[in-house]
Amino acid sequence: MELVDAVLLLQGWVVSEVTDVQPTELTLLGRSADGQYWRHTIPFNRERPDVCAALDIADTSLQCGFFFYGRIPEGEPLALLRHGKQGEVTLHTWAEQTTGGPGEYRQSLLSWSYLLRKAWGLLRSGQWRSLAERARRHLHAAPASRKPRRMSEPQATPPVVDYLIIDHDMGGGANQYRVAKVGQLLHEGQCVVVLTFSVLGLRYVVRSAEPGGSLGPARHLTWAEVLPWIDQLQPRHIFYNNAVSFPHALALAEGLAAYKAEHRQTCQLTLTVHDYFALCPSQHLMSAEGRFCGLPSSMEVCNSCLKHSDQAMVSLYRHHGLTAWRQAWGTLLQAADQVLAFDPSARELLKRTFRPIADEHWCLRPHGVVPLTDEEQQRLARWRQTKTRKSGRIGVVGQVGSDYKGVKKVHELVNYIAQNKLPYEIVAIGQVSPKPANSLHYQETGPYKAHDLAKLVVENDIDVFFFSSEGPETYSYVLHELERFALPISAFNLGAQATFLSRYSQAIPLDIDATMLEIVSKLKPYLQD
Q: How far apart are the first and last CA of the chain?
A: 55
- Which pLDDT score, from 0 to 100, does residue 449 have? 92
Please tell me the number of Cα atoms within 13 Å of 329 on its side-chain side: 28
Q: How many whole angstroms separate alpha carbon 278 and alpha carbon 334?
A: 12
Of 498, 299, 275, 289, the closest CA to residue 408 belongs to 289
- Partners of residue 71 on adjacent β-strands: 7
Asked if 6 and 76 count as a contact pair (C-beta separation under 8 A), the reply is: no
Quote the Cα angle for 430-433-439, to 5°: 80
Q: Give me the phi and psi of 461, to 5 degrees please.
A: 55, 50
Q: How many whole angstroms separate alpha carbon 32 and alpha carbon 73?
A: 7
Per-residue pLDDT of the chain (529 residues; tens, 9 = 90+): 888 888 988 888 887 765 555 556 788 999 988 888 998 888 776 777 777 777 777 666 677 788 888 888 888 899 998 877 667 888 889 865 434 444 444 444 444 454 555 555 555 544 445 555 555 555 555 554 434 444 444 444 557 899 999 999 998 899 999 999 999 999 999 999 999 999 988 999 999 998 888 888 899 999 999 999 999 999 999 999 999 999 999 999 999 999 999 999 999 999 999 999 999 999 999 999 999 999 999 999 999 999 999 888 899 999 999 999 999 999 999 999 999 999 999 999 999 999 999 999 999 999 989 999 999 999 999 998 888 777 899 999 999 999 999 999 999 999 999 999 999 999 999 999 889 987 899 999 999 999 999 999 999 999 999 999 999 999 999 999 999 999 999 999 999 999 999 999 999 999 999 999 999 999 999 997 5
Element (H, E) at 481: helix 477-483
Rounded to two decimals, what is the model's pTM?
Answer: 0.84
Of 175, 161, 353, 402, the closest CA to residue 272 belongs to 175
The burial of 266, by beta-carbon neighbours within 10 Å (0-12 exposed, 13-18 middle, 19 or more buried), is given as exposed
Within 10 Å of residue 225's Cβ, how many Cβ atoms?
A: 17
Of 481, 301, 238, 276, the closest CA to residue 376 belongs to 481
| Cβ-based neighbours of 333, under 8 Å, separated by 6 or more | 271, 278, 339, 350, 354, 357
The pairing of strands 393-400 and 192-198 is unpaired
Q: How many whole angstroms separate alpha carbon 466 and alpha carbon 309?
A: 27
Q: How many whole angstroms separate alpha carbon 68 and alpha carbon 41?
A: 9
- Which pLDDT score, from 0 to 100, does residue 45 have? 66
| Cβ-based neighbours of 196, under 8 Å, separated by 6 or more | 140, 166, 167, 168, 169, 204, 205, 207
